């Protein structure tokens, strides 16, 4: 019997249908892979182009509301006054590879619904005594321009730090410390002026250096988990074709085994027929000899 080729097996209707199903699954997997590739590359902040345009804090952000990407990193203007005896230092802040503190105090915002405060970073220092400078600013009407940032996570306690020094700038922790209603974010001050327009911020305070924070996150960041999923979907698409090919190959091997079995049976049957025929001829020849 002629041997069936693997291509002939693949052209059978059921395997053509299975190939169509594999194509459909592979198409779905490729579409999912393209989608994962798309989301694996972050476009950064969708309002990145306007973060450097100053806007009034009270116009874009409300107290007791979590901060979204549409408020975070914005340059904001706010007016008000520092509350007395609210100055704290935030530990382990780097400036030009030197470790120091951020000086932070509670700033009551004019126009806030319930006179809420917001933590304001006045500057960077290595001298813990620099926080005494905040007392000179309390009670003054001030104008501040800075970057609005989301709060940091509270420090993991217990931690051993001097009084008035905290490991992170956590609004929740500061609310408990100050016992006043507060915004959930904080502002890093870039400019601070008094009613006369004079600069009274970090450049004017001895021992205090200005702090500059760039907008975050940086655009073009890669999400490696999504990238891994994208590659995984491509593998699944290839596996769909491999599975079809493997099933066709197994079916082809079974057909070959069946053909070999039929060939053996046919050969054995032919041998039996030839043997029976030869015996019949011998028997006929033996009878003829006896008659002679």
Q: Are residues 188 and 112 in the same domain?
A: yes
**Domain end marker among 171, 204, 237:** 204
**Domain end marker among 204, 236, 271:** 204
Q: Is residue 270 assigned to a domain?
A: no
Instruction: Give start and end residues of each alpha helix (H) in the chain.
Output: 6-10, 13-40, 57-60, 171-178, 224-291
Q: Compute, in degrees rounded to 10, the torsion defined by CA atoms 17, 20, 24, 26.
A: 120
Q: pLDDT tens for residues 42-77?
A: 555 556 667 888 999 999 998 878 888 888 889 999
Q: Are residues 195 and 58 in the same domain?
A: yes
Q: Is residue 260 assigned to a domain?
A: no
Overall residue count recorded for the chain in this entry:
292
Domain of residue 230: give its range: 11-41+222-251
Cα distance between residue 215 and residue 49, in whole Å: 11
CATH code where residue 128 lies: 2.40.50.140
Output 81 or 261, whichever has higher pLDDT. 81
Q: Are residues 90 and 148 in the same domain?
A: yes
The 3-state DSSP class for residue 225 equals helix
| pLDDT value at residue 2 | 42
Q: pLDDT tens for residues 214-267?
A: 877 555 566 777 788 888 889 988 988 899 988 888 888 888 887 788 778 788
| pLDDT value at residue 157 | 64
> Do 60 and 71 contact (CB within 8 A), yes or no?
yes
Q: Are residues 60 and 198 in the same domain?
A: yes
Distance from chain centroid for Cα 179: 36
| pLDDT value at residue 3 | 47
Q: How many domains does the chain have?
A: 2
Q: Is residue 278 assigned to a domain?
A: no
Q: pLDDT tens for residues 121-143?
A: 999 999 888 888 888 898 899 99
Q: pLDDT tens for residues 185-195?
A: 999 999 999 99
């Amino acid at each position: 019997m002629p041997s069936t080729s693997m291509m002939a097996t693949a052209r059978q209707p059921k395997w053509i249908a299975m190939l169509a199903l594999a194509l459909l699954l592979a198409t779905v997997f490729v579409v999912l892979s393209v989608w994962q590739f798309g989301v694996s590359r972050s476009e950064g902040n969708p309002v990145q182009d306007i973060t450097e345009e100053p806007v009034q804090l009270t116009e874009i952000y409300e107290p007791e509301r979590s901060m979204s990407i549409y408020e975070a990193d914005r340059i904001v203007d706010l007016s008000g006054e520092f509350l007395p005896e609210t100055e704290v230092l935030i530990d382990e802040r780097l400036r030009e590879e030197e470790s120091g503190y951020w000086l932070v105090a509670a700033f009551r915002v004019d126009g806030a619904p319930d006179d809420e405060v917001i933590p304001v970073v006045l500057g960077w220092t290595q001298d813990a005594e620099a926080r005494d400078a905040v007392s000179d600013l309390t009670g003054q009407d001030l104008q501040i321009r800075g970057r609005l940032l989301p709060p940091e996570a509270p420090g993991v306690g217990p931690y051993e730090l001097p009084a008035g020094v905290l490991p992170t700038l956590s609004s929740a922790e500061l609310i408990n410390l100050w016992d006043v209603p507060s915004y959930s974010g904080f502002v890093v001050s870039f400019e601070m002026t008094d009613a006369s327009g004079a600069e009274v911020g970090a450049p004017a305070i001895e021992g205090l250096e200005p702090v500059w924070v760039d907008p975050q996150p940086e655009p073009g960041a890669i999400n490696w988990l999504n990238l891994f999923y994208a590659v995984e979907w491509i593998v699944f698409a290839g596996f769909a074709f491999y599975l079809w090919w493997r099933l066709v190959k197994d079916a082809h091997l079974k057909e070959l085994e069946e053909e070999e079995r039929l060939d053996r049976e046919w050969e054995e049957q032919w041998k039996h027929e030839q043997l029976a025929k030869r015996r019949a001829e011998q028997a006929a020849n033996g009878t003829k000899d006896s008659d002679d």
